[in-house]
C-alpha cells in the first residue's frame, strides 16, 4: 500500500443524496408497510405487558433522600439524582430562582444502525418501553445506552446491537456528535447522537424493525410514535444542500451566535434539593403551591413476562402541555426558520438555538403582556385556527419525564408577523444551515432538533 492510498476524502459526498433517496421511500420499506408499524408497536406492548403505577417518592425501591441536603439518589450511586439548582440570569421576567433538577453527569449513547436493502438505506428502530411515555412503547433508536453499558460492552452488558457503536471498526460512522438535552429540566446533560452504517448481516429480533427515512417521516406525522431519542438522532442526519444561499452567510450566523453566547451573564450552581425555596414536598412528590412548571414524582414499573424485571424511579412531570414552534418563511425561494438564542439554566454554555416559540403557555398566564414570549400569540392563533403547516404532539424522554407532552408546530410567517429583521435574540437561518450545525454540539437545542427531524425525514416540507 502506498502512502497516497491511505488518504480518504474529507467529506462523504454521496451521503446526503443516499439519505434523500431513503427519505423519498415512503409507504413501505423492504420489510414492513408504514401503516403496519402502529399495529406492530401494539403487539410488542402486548407481548411485554408492562404496567406503570405512580408511587410516592419515599416508597421508591432503592431510592432515598440523602440525610445531608435532601438530594434524591439511588443507593448504588448510579442512574441519576434529583438535586437543586440556583440560577441567576440577566434578562427576562425571572432573573433569579431555585428549582429541582435532574443530574446525570454521564454521557450516554443514542445510536441508530443503518443498512442498505435494495439500494435504499434503512434504519433499525426499536419498540421500546419507557415509563413516562403516554403510550409506553414508542419507536426508539437501535441503542439507548448509558456510558456504563457502553464501557462494559466487551464484558457482556446485554444491550442489543451495542457492539456496532462501541467498536467503530464494525461499521462506518455517518454522524456522531454530543447533543444537549432539556436545559430547564437537566443540569448539563448531553448524549452522543450517532448513526452507523453496516454492510454485515444483522441478527433480527422481535423488538426491532428496519424502516426507511421516509417511513420515519410518515410516522412523525402521528402523535407519540417516534420517541425523543430517535428524533434527536434523525435531526443530525446530513441533508442535501442544494440551497443557492441564505439570508445570512454561515460566518454571519456563527458571529451572531458567538455574540449572543458571549453577552449573557448566567450564573448557575447545584445546591442541596432541601434548599430549593418555593418548592414543597408532599405525600406524592415535590412541587410548587402555585402548580407551575413541574413536579418530581415517582413510578413503579412492573413487567408481565419473565424477560424483564420491574423497577421504580423518580420522574419529572411537567405541568401542562408545552408548545415548540418554528415560524418559517421562504426567503429568495429558500426555506428559513426563525431561531431563538435561548438562555436555559441547565445548558453547558448560556444559550442554544431554540424554536421560535418554546414554552408551556400556562406558565406565562400571570406574566405581563409585554413580557410574554415573542411570537407566542402568533403561533397560538395559527394553531387555534387549524392553520399550522404541521401540528403534532410528541413526548420527551420517557425514561426521565412523565407525560412530557409538547405540541410541535410549523407556522408560516410574513414580513408583518415575522420580519426579516427580527428582535435581537432571533435570527433567520436556512434549513441547511440549521442541519449543518448539528455536526457539532451545543448549537441546536433538543426541541429544535425534534422540529429539524421533521425536515430531515421529509415529514415536513417548507
Q: Which parts of this chain interact with a copy of itself (CB under 8 A)?
A: 2-12, 105-107, 109, 147, 151, 168, 173-178, 192, 194, 243-252, 254-256, 258-259, 261-263, 265, 267, 330-334, 348-349, 420, 430, 432-433, 439-441
Closest to a copy of itself by CB, 47 vs 331, is 331
Within 8 A by CB and 6+ apart from 204, the residues are none
Closest to a copy of itself by CB, 112 vs 392, is 112
Gyration radius of the chain over CA positions:
22
Letter string b/e over residues 388-403, b meaning 16 or more CB atoms within 10 A of that residue's CB: bebbbebbbbbbbbbe
How would DSSP label each residue in 90-147? SSSS--EEEEEEEE--S-EEEEEEEEEETTEEEEEEEEEE-TTSTTSEEEE-SEEE-H
Closest to a copy of itself by CB, 334 vs 378, is 334
Within 8 A by CB and 6+ apart from 321, the residues are 360, 393, 405, 406, 407
- Nearest distance, CB of residue 428 and a copy of itself, angstroms: 10
Coil, strand or helix at 328: strand
Within 8 A by CB and 6+ apart from 117, the residues are 29, 30, 31, 210
Backbone angles phi, psi at 371, to 5 degrees: -100, 0
- Nearest distance, CB of residue 235 and a copy of itself, angstroms: 16
Closest to a copy of itself by CB, 163 vs 267, is 267
Q: Give the integer Cα–Cα distance in Å for 183 and 447.
A: 10
Closest to a copy of itself by CB, 151 vs 371, is 151
Q: Give the integer Cα–Cα distance in Å for 204 and 277.
A: 51
Phi-psi region of 245 (alpha: psi -120 to 50; beta: other; left: phi over 0): left
- Nearest distance, CB of residue 75 and a copy of itself, angstroms: 20
Backbone angles phi, psi at 188, to 5 degrees: 55, 45
8 Å CB contact between 215 and 29: yes
Sign, CA dihedral 52-53-59-64, equals positive
- Nearest distance, CB of residue 263 and a copy of itself, angstroms: 7
8 Å CB contact between 309 and 363: no
Closest to a copy of itself by CB, 11 vs 283, is 11
- Nearest distance, CB of residue 167 and a copy of itself, angstroms: 11
- Nearest distance, CB of residue 458 and a copy of itself, angstroms: 22
- Nearest distance, CB of residue 194 and a copy of itself, angstroms: 7
- Nearest distance, CB of residue 297 and a copy of itself, angstroms: 29
Closest to a copy of itself by CB, 86 vs 334, is 334
- Nearest distance, CB of residue 386 and a copy of itself, angstroms: 27
User: First CA to last CA across the chain, in angstroms?
Assistant: 48
Closest to a copy of itself by CB, 165 vs 410, is 165
CA max distance for the chain = 71
**Would you tell me the crossing angle of helices 228-235 and 446-456 to the nearest 10 degrees?**
70
- Nearest distance, CB of residue 406 and a copy of itself, angstroms: 26
- Nearest distance, CB of residue 123 and a copy of itself, angstroms: 17
Closest to a copy of itself by CB, 161 vs 443, is 443
* 208 beta partners: 126
Closest to a copy of itself by CB, 17 vs 259, is 259
Closest to a copy of itself by CB, 266 vs 308, is 266
Amino acid at each position: 500500500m502506498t502512502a497516497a492510498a491511505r488518504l480518504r476524502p474529507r467529506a462523504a459526498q454521496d451521503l446526503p443524496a443516499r439519505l434523500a433517496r431513503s427519505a423519498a421511500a415512503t409507504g413501505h420499506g423492504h420489510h414492513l408497510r408504514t401503516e403496519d408499524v402502529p399495529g406492530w408497536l401494539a403487539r410488542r406492548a402486548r407481548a411485554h405487558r408492562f404496567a406503570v403505577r405512580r408511587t410516592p417518592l419515599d416508597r421508591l425501591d432503592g431510592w432515598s433522600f440523602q440525610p445531608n441536603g435532601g438530594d434524591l439518589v439511588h443507593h448504588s450511586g448510579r442512574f441519576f439524582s434529583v438535586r437543586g439548582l440556583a440560577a441567576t440570569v440577566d434578562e427576562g421576567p425571572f432573573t433569579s430562582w431555585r428549582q429541582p433538577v435532574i443530574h446525570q453527569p454521564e454521557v450516554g449513547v443514542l445510536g441508530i444502525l443503518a443498512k442498505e436493502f435494495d439500494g435504499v438505506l434503512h434504519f433499525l428502530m426499536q419498540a421500546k418501553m419507557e415509563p413516562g411515555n403516554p403510550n409506553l412503547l414508542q419507536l426508539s433508536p437501535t441503542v439507548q445506552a448509558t456510558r456504563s453499558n457502553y464501557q462494559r460492552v466487551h464484558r457482556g452488558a446485554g444491550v442489543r446491537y451495542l457492539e456496532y457503536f462501541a467498536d467503530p471498526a464494525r461499521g462506518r460512522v455517518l454522524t456522531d456528535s454530543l447533543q444537549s438535552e432539556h436545559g430547564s429540566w437537566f443540569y448539563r446533560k448531553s448524549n452522543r447522537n450517532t448513526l452507523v452504517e453496516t454492510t454485515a448481516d444483522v441478527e433480527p429480533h422481535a423488538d426491532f424493525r428496519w424502516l426507511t427515512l421516509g417511513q420515519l417521516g410518515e410516522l412523525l406525522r402521528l402523535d407519540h410514535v417516534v420517541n425523543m431519542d430517535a428524533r434527536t438522532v434523525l435531526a443530525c442526519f446530513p441533508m442535501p444542500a442544494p440551497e443557492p444561499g441564505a439570508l445570512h452567510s454561515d460566518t454571519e450566523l456563527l458571529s451572531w451566535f458567538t455574540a449572543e453566547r458571549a453577552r449573557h451573564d448566567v450564573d448557575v450552581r447545584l445546591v442541596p434539593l432541601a434548599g430549593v425555596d418555593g418548592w414543597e414536598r408532599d405525600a406524592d412528590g415535590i412541587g410548587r403551591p402555585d402548580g407551575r412548571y413541574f413536579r418530581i414524582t415517582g413510578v413503579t414499573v412492573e413487567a408481565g413476562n419473565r424477560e424483564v424485571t420491574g423497577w421504580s424511579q423518580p420522574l419529572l412531570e411537567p405541568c401542562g402541555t408545552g408548545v415548540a414552534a418554528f415560524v418559517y418563511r421562504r426567503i429568495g425561494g429558500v426555506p428559513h426558520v426563525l431561531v431563538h438564542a435561548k438562555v436555559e439554566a441547565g445548558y453547558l454554555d448560556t444559550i442554544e438555538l431554540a424554536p421560535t416559540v418554546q414554552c408551556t403557555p400556562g406558565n406565562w398566564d400571570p406574566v405581563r403582556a409585554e413580557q410574554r414570549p415573542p411570537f407566542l400569540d402568533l403561533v397560538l392563533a395559527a394553531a387555534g385556527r387549524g392553520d399550522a403547516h404541521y401540528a403534532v404532539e410528541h413526548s420527551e424522554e420517557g425514561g426521565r419525564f412523565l407525560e412530557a407532552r409538547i405540541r410541535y408546530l410549523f407556522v408560516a410567517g410574513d414580513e408583518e408577523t415575522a420580519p426579516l429583521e427580527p428582535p435581537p435574540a432571533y435570527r433567520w437561518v436556512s434549513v441547511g444551515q440549521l442541519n449543518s450545525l448539528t455536526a457539532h454540539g451545543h448549537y441546536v437545542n433538543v426541541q429544535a432538533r425534534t422540529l429539524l427531524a421533521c425536515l430531515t425525514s421529509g415529514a415536513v416540507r417548507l
